[in-house]
Amino acid sequence: MMQEAYRILESVFGYTAFRSPQDEVIGAILEGKDAFVLMPTGGGKSLCFQIPALVRPGVGIVISPLIALMQDQVSAMCQAGVKAACMNSSMPPGHNYEVENQARRGELDLIYIAPERLALNQTIEWLGQCDVSLFAIDEAHCVSQWGHDFRSDYLQLSLLHERFPNVPRVALTATADAKTREEIISRLGLEQASVFVSGFDRPNIQYRITQKQNARQQLLSFINSEHASDAGVVYCLSRKKVDATAKWLSEQGIKAYPYHAGLSKDVRYQNQARFLKEESIVIVATIAFGMGIDKPDVRFVAHLDLPKNIEAYYQETGRAGRDGLPSTAWMVYGLEDVIKLKQMMAGSEANEQFKRIEQRKLDSMLGLAEITSCRRQTIMNYFGDDMPEPCGNCDNCLNPAKTWDGTEAARKALSCVYRTDQRFGVVHLISVLRGKLTEKITQFNHQNVSTFGIGSDLSESQWRSVYRQLVARGYLSVNFDYGQVYLADKCRALLRGDETIELRLDADKGKQKTASSGKAKFTPVKDEDIDLWEALRACRKRLADDQGVPPFVIFHDATLKEMIESKPDGLQAFSTLSGVGQKKLDKYGSEFLLVLAEY
């Protein structure tokens, strides 16, 4: 049966080899075993159930919460010649009925189905009348209450095992943490399943975290200089900021649309559909956008606000570069972010234990933002994957960060907090240090404290950098009410003079630009091939529009890139490109060969 799997890999999907551990997962399912698959986004989870569904007799049932994306997944399958369909509440009633009949007659290979349907008695009854080859539970972390995408409908899925004990099940997720993993296994009754966990690194994503100066302007120059004609996602914390940023980007000539839970369903749907269908487009969104965004060619993910933990950061940035081509995860952050998140945490009404966990997670996130060594090593380490060498593809590896001995400055900054009774925010503290006679200073007589004016040697932004790092590294705590800072236990040794501290040297305003820009310009192809690249993209877009499907459903960027590199001179050569199966060869081969011949 494995031979049949290889044949399908080539003839239907146009790939020459399985990525580990796809072949093992498929092997297990073909033997009738259950499987639990943990792979990073873009790792290639889909093939793990698509191929066994084609090899085994009967129809494969894929449970997916992503109704908005089902149609695209089905289109992609149909393009490759697979008999696929979907069933969900957004389909006309006649459609679902027709799918049911086709399945009973054994005319389908694969059905994508929404979890809420599976809970219905009538669905179970109908499945009993079909020959089912496997159940694939996609986004399986939705069954976990610990994770953040919990769906109560997923709880019903344990039923499948009871009703269809002989049909193999495969649960798939990209969510790494151990607790979620355990919960999935126990809730879905997968204790007997073979478990496949693959490494979590996404080497094609370049991680960069920069100090916030003028966030919008920084974002604009990042997009313009590195990703001008690409698709990307910009994450903000609040709906208001999403709207304002999308509007501002549009005014700057960037095709940008907002996405958040406050928009009407129609608008959200429209904007998401646009994002899937178009190539140079930016979605500005809250975290409401994204679960399983199945667009392979998202070239950048930008964060204007700091995520609450590394899990969220990794999941959000992971939406870039699913096709394996170079992509950028870019973030700006600053003192306000640190204060705001610490403040939110302090005011959270969750129970103490939960709060402590959240706090620790936030501290790791802040640590990642401040760290001067390889970001990827830090991330992998956080997830328990060992990475012996620095990655060479993050900002700290590309432009080693400078540090300075901040011991004296830190002591001044901390004493200033102490001398002013631990009741003030950073702006005021900096005024005191720099000896500025503001209204507030006179009001509280702070011109008379011993730290008044002792910090005129550093600029305001340098002091902000000092305070940011002291808060981020836990020397100072933040009060919930007004964001006042106060001394944390950890600062004692530093104040006593028993400890020194190295601080990250933040680039000055203006200089920072040269520090990051130009380094990582995304060039999918060589300069001389740009025209051909654009022509191929135009051809793909035309074919996609004719059928009302997203361009990547026709061919991925990686396939276009291969066309340019290997310049196939006929259908035979074309068929060897990665991503070209028999059906696509017949359907599109000659069109693309024509474009290639013109250049």
Where on the chain is the footprint of ligand ADP (CB under 6 A)?
A: 15, 18-19, 22, 39, 41-47, 296, 322-323, 556, 578
Among 107-115, 396-404, 423-431, 456-464, which window interacts with Zn ion (CB under 5 A)?
396-404
Identify which of residues 64 and 210 has a Cβ nearer to Zn ion in the complex: 210
> Which of 112, 192, 115 lies closest to 156 in space, CA to CA?
115
Q: Which does 65 bind (CB under 5 to 8 A by kind): Zn ion, ligand ADP, none?
A: none
Pick from Zn ion, ligand ADP, none: which does 296 bind, CB < 5 to 8 A by kind?
A: ligand ADP
Q: How far is the CB of 398 from Zn ion (least distance, A)?
A: 8
Q: Which does 19 bind (CB under 5 to 8 A by kind): ligand ADP, Zn ion, none?
A: ligand ADP
Give whichever of 331 and 374 is closer to Zn ion, judged by the CB atom: 374
Looking at 129-177, list the stretches that DSSP marks H as alpha helix, in order from N- to C-terminal side: 158-163
List all residues 6 or more positions away from 403 whose beta carbon is below 8 Å from its beta carbon: 372, 502, 503, 504, 505
Binding site partner of 41, from Zn ion, ligand ADP, none, Cβ cut-off 5-8 A by kind: ligand ADP
Give the residue among 448, 491, 454 at the shortest CA–CA distance from 470. 491
Residue 491 CA, distance from chain mean position: 35
319's contact among Zn ion, ligand ADP, none, with CB below 5 to 8 A by partner kind, is: none
Nearer to Zn ion, 257 or 313 (CB): 313
Helix (H) or strand (E) holding 378: helix 375-382
Positions in 360-379 near Zn ion (CB under 5 A): 374, 376
Q: Any contact of residue 54 with Zn ion (CB under 5 A)?
A: no
Task: Give the integer Cα–Cα distance in Å for 576 and 15.
Answer: 9
Q: What's the gap between Cα 537 and its chain centre?
A: 25
- The least CB distance from residue 192 to ligand ADP, in Å, is 23
Segment lying near Zn ion (by CB under 5 A), choices 39-47, 88-96, 268-276, 389-397: 389-397
Q: What is the DSSP string of 322-333?
A: TTSS-EEEEEEE
Q: How far is the CB of 552 from ligand ADP (least distance, A)?
A: 8
Q: Are 327 and 298 in contact (CB under 8 A)?
A: yes
Of the candidate spans 50-58, 96-104, 382-390, 503-511, the one that interacts with Zn ion by CB under 5 A turns out to be 382-390
Give me the least distance between CB of 388 and Zn ion, in Å please: 12
CB of 234 to ligand ADP, least distance (A): 21
Q: Which of 435, 432, 403 is nearest to 415 (CA)?
A: 432
* CA 561-565-569 angle, 5° bins: 110
- Supply the minimum distance, in Å, between the C-beta of residue 124 and ligand ADP: 27
d(CA 18, CA 30): 15
256-259 sheet: strands from edge to edge? 205-211, 327-333, 298-303, 231-235, 282-285, 256-259
- Residue 391 interacting with Zn ion (CB under 5 A): yes
Q: Which token pair is 361?
A: 């997670």
| 47 contact, one of Zn ion, ligand ADP, none, CB 5-8 Å limit per kind | ligand ADP
Instruction: Judge contact between 79 and 549, C-beta under 8 A.
Output: yes
Least CB distance to Zn ion at residue 378 (A): 9
209 binds Zn ion (CB under 5 A): no
Q: Please choose which of ligand ADP, Zn ion, none residue 391 contacts, taking the beta carbon within 5 to 8 angstroms, the exact cut-off set by kind.
A: Zn ion
Residue with Cβ nearer ligand ADP (232 or 318): 318
When asked if residue 397 is in the footprint of Zn ion (CB under 5 A), the reply is yes
Q: Which residue, 124 or 387, is less far from Zn ion as judged by CB?
A: 387
Q: Which is nearer to ligand ADP, 303 or 322 (CB)?
A: 322
Nearer to ligand ADP, 77 or 256 (CB): 77
Closest CA relative to residue 172, chosen from 208, 211, 221, 136: 136
| CA atoms of 596 and 371, how far apart (whole Å) | 47
Q: How far is the CB of 41 from ligand ADP (least distance, A)?
A: 4
Beta strands at 169-173 and 110-113: parallel, antiparallel or unpaired: unpaired
Q: How far apart are CA 169 and CA 157, in angstroms?
A: 11
**Residue (of 163, 173, 222) closest to 197 by Cα position:** 173
Q: Among residues 80 and 596, whose Cβ is nearest to ligand ADP?
A: 80
Q: How far is the CB of 73 from ligand ADP (least distance, A)?
A: 9
- For the bound state, the minimum distance from the C-beta of residue 43 to ligand ADP, rounded and expressed in Å, comes to 4
Return the range that interacts with Zn ion (CB under 5 A); candidates 5-13, 185-193, 383-391, 444-452.
383-391
Give dist(CA 67, CA 72) in Å, integer: 10
Closest to ligand ADP by CB, 173 vs 469, is: 173
Cα–Cα distance for residue pair 570/14, rounded to 1 Å = 16
Sheet of strand 59-63, all strands in order from the earlier edge strand to the far edge:
84-87, 110-113, 59-63, 132-137, 169-173, 35-38, 194-197
Q: CA nearest 309: which of 355, 360, 235? A: 360
Cβ proximity to ligand ADP, 221 vs 578, nearer residue: 578
Nearer to Zn ion, 160 or 379 (CB): 379
Query: Does the footprint of Zn ion cover residue 99 (CB under 5 A)?
Result: no
Of the two residues 401 and 595, which places its CB atom closer to Zn ion in the complex?
401
Among 394, 539, 577, 580, binds Zn ion (CB under 5 A): 394
Q: Cα separation of 114 and 63, whole Å?
A: 6
169 binds, among ligand ADP, Zn ion, none (CB under 5 to 8 A by kind): none
Residue tagged 């399912």 (tokens):
29
Q: How far is the CB of 369 from ligand ADP (least distance, A)?
A: 26
Binding site for Zn ion (CB under 5 A): 374, 376, 390-391, 394, 397
